[in-house]
Amino acid sequence: MMSSSAVIEVKDVGMTYKTRDGRSHTALEGCNFDVAPGEFVSVVGQSGSGKSTLLRIISGLINNTSGEVLLKGKNVAHSLRELAMVFQAPVLLPWRNNLDNVLLPMEFRKAVTPQVRAYAKELLEIAGLGDQATKYSYELSGGMQQRVAICRALVSRPDILLMDEPFGALDAMTRDTMNFELQRIWHETRQSVLFVTHSIPEAIWLADRVIVVGDRPGRIVADIKIDIPRLRTREHRFSEDFTAYERQIEALIGTPGAIS
């Protein structure tokens, strides 16, 4: 991969927080990786290893204390980037129907056109929610609400979609369904995705590459290409190749029992 064509370049990034009692805490140290256009990259690591810190730095929510992040070749602080973020909780506005929730970011930009409305409907269709456009979030399950939130993140056609444990609050079965749905949506839209999770199988199943974050301080201990064909099915989940990737990553971050 040519680094000049990367949508995200993380170069020697470190983050040392100043805590309220005046001490400092190094959450990340010397992180390096790229994300290519259209690539799906997972970031996996134990709780507290600095995954959310990394995503917050890339999104520009906080400033790294060393190194630099380039988005489409430009410094995060200066770039007119197109980023969208999906968090653990979907936070939809209860007084708006689902289509209007999806359109919200475009309304903020005063950019709702008939084409945008059509794309919002198409996204709901792709997400399996074509018949839910005029329903309200309280009429949907948690998994459906999170799919609406994903559509909302995609409606502006961002260069990159950042997802921080988006399915962490869902039960295991719904989570599996969501992984299938997300793969399908990504396969259609081909947006670059950086997906944070503490679940090793989820990280592998979704990704072209898995970045493994070790802790204390958080640093990248491996960057593993996942050679499993698309579209992936349940069978891939239990294939020999898959299990080998799982073992490899478990060995890198330890205590597999502590990770679902």
Ligand X SMILES: Nc1ncnc2c1ncn2[C@@H]1O[C@H](COP(=O)(O)OP(=O)(O)O)[C@@H](O)[C@H]1O
Binding site for Mg ion (CB under 5 A): 52
- For ligand X, the closer of residues 25 and 247 by Cβ is 25
Q: Do residues 174 and 125 lie in contact, with contact meaning Cβ atoms separated by under 8 Å?
A: no
Nearer to ligand X, 126 or 170 (CB): 170
Tokens for 133, please give them: 């456009």
Nearest approach, Cβ of residue 163 and Mg ion (Å): 11
Mark residues 41-80: x for contact with ligand X by CB under 6 A, - for none: ----x-xxxxxxx---------------------------
Tell me the closest approach of the beta carbon of residue 166 to ligand X, in angstroms: 13
27 binds ligand X (CB under 6 A): yes
C-beta of 108: minimal distance to ligand X in Å? 27
- Please report where in the chains the tokens 């380039």 appear, as a residue: 70
The residue among 22, 24, 16 whose CA lies nearest residue 67 is 16
Using the rule CB under 6 A, which residue among 1, 3, 5, 25 binds ligand X?
25
Among 16, 17, 112, 122, binds ligand X (CB under 6 A): 17
Residue with nearest beta carbon to Mg ion: 52
Shortest gap between Cβ of 167 and ligand X (angstroms)?
15
The answer to whether 50 and 35 are in contact (CB under 8 A) is no
Residues 6+ apart with CB under 8 A from 194: 8, 35, 41, 43, 55, 58, 160, 161, 162, 163
Query: What does the alpha-carbon distance between residue 54 and residue 59 come to, in Å, rounded to a whole number?
Result: 9
* 109 contacts: CB under 8 Å, gap ≥ 6: 156
CB of 247 to ligand X, least distance (A): 22
From Mg ion, ligand X, none, which one binds at residue 53 (CB under 5 to 8 Å depending on kind)?
Answer: ligand X
- DSSP state letter for 39: -
HSE-CB at 240 with a 13 A cutoff on CA atoms is 0
Stretch that binds ligand X, among 19-27, 203-211, 219-227, 242-250 (CB under 6 A): 19-27
For residues 64 and 97, which CB has a smaller minimum distance to ligand X in the complex? Answer: 64
Q: Does 255 bind ligand X (CB under 6 A)?
A: no
For 236, other C-beta atoms within 10 Å of its C-beta total 15
Minimum CB–partner distance for residue 199 and Mg ion (Å): 13
CB of 23 to ligand X, least distance (A): 9
Helix spans in the chain (H):
51-59, 98-108, 114-126, 142-154, 172-189, 200-206, 234-237, 240-253
Per-residue x/- track, 90-129, ligand X (CB under 6 A): ----------------------------------------
**Which DSSP string corresponds to 140-193?**
S-HHHHHHHHHHHHHTT--SEEEEESTTTTS-HHHHHHHHHHHHHHHHHH--EE
Residues at the interface with ligand X (CB under 6 A): 17, 19, 25, 27, 45, 47-53
